[in-house]
Amino acid sequence: MNSINWFFFIIVILTAILTSLIFKSRNKTQTKFFTLILGISIFLISYVSLLEILSRPKPKNLEILNKYVEEVTLLHVSWVEGEAIHILIRLDGVKEPRLYSFPWDPIQAQEFDEALEKGRENNEEVRISNPFFVSNLEERKTLIYSSPAKPLPAKKPPEVGITAYDPDAEKKSYEMIEKERNKEK
Give the tens place of pLDDT for each residue, 115-124.
888 888 888 8
pTM of the model: 0.58
Give the tens place of pLDDT for each residue, 9-30.
888 888 888 888 877 777 788 8
pLDDT of residue 139: 43
Which pLDDT band holds residue 138 (cuts at 50, 70, 90)?
very low
Give the tens place of pLDDT for each residue, 148-158.
667 778 888 87
Residues 6+ apart with CB under 8 A from 97: 75, 88, 89, 90
**H helix runs in 25-135, sequence order:** 29-53, 106-122
